[in-house]
Amino acid sequence: MKYGLFLLPALAFPILAVASPLTFDEAKFKADTFESTLSSPDIQTLVNAQGKLASLAFPTCAQRTGSSPTDFTIVVQIDIRGSVVNSWREGESRFAQCFQEFMEKSFSYRPQSEPFFTAFEYANAH
């Protein structure tokens, strides 16, 4: 029985270490929270990075999908090196799917800490 007490914590740890995936709403909440803590210079750097991405992604996705953008939100989780390690999307259009893929591969922003979450929101003004 003495050995069983030592095995139980060892077996329990891997189970506790596995995190469940976030929902879109949870990831968006994290993005809003992380973005709200940024300093003014960091906000400007993030906005510039998102603008650079958008200026490349919008024409690329319009051409690839043959469609105009509709409302969508993409949330990404970024590691300390600036690489996108996870993403979530609200909006099911082909354009939104293309934008998510483009953001996963091409978004470049180096956060001060990790994990870091940020969101890109697009609303079509009619």
- pLDDT of 18 reads 46
- pLDDT of 20 reads 59
Q: How many CA atoms lie within 13 A of 12 on its CB side?
A: 6
Beta bridge partners of residue 66, listed in sequence order: none
Q: How many angstroms separate the CA atoms of 60 and 94, rounded?
A: 12
- pLDDT of 125 reads 79
Q: How many angstroms separate the CA atoms of 110 and 98, rounded?
A: 23
- pLDDT of 11 reads 44
54's CB contacts (< 8 A; 6+ apart) are 120
- pLDDT of 126 reads 63
User: Which residue ranges in the chain fall short of pLDDT 50?
Assistant: 1-18
pLDDT above 90 coverage of the chain, percent: 78
What percentage of the chain's residues is helix, strand, coil (to nearest 5)? Answer: 55, 15, 30
- pLDDT of 9 reads 45
Q: Which CATH class is domain 27-122?
A: alpha beta
- pLDDT of 19 reads 54
Q: Record the pTM.
A: 0.81
Torsion angle of the four alpha carbons 53, 43, 73, 96, in this order, in degrees rounded to the nearest 10 = 0
Report strand pairing: 72-78 vs 84-90. antiparallel
Picking from 48, 53, 42, 92, the residue whose alpha carbon sits closest to that of residue 76 is: 53
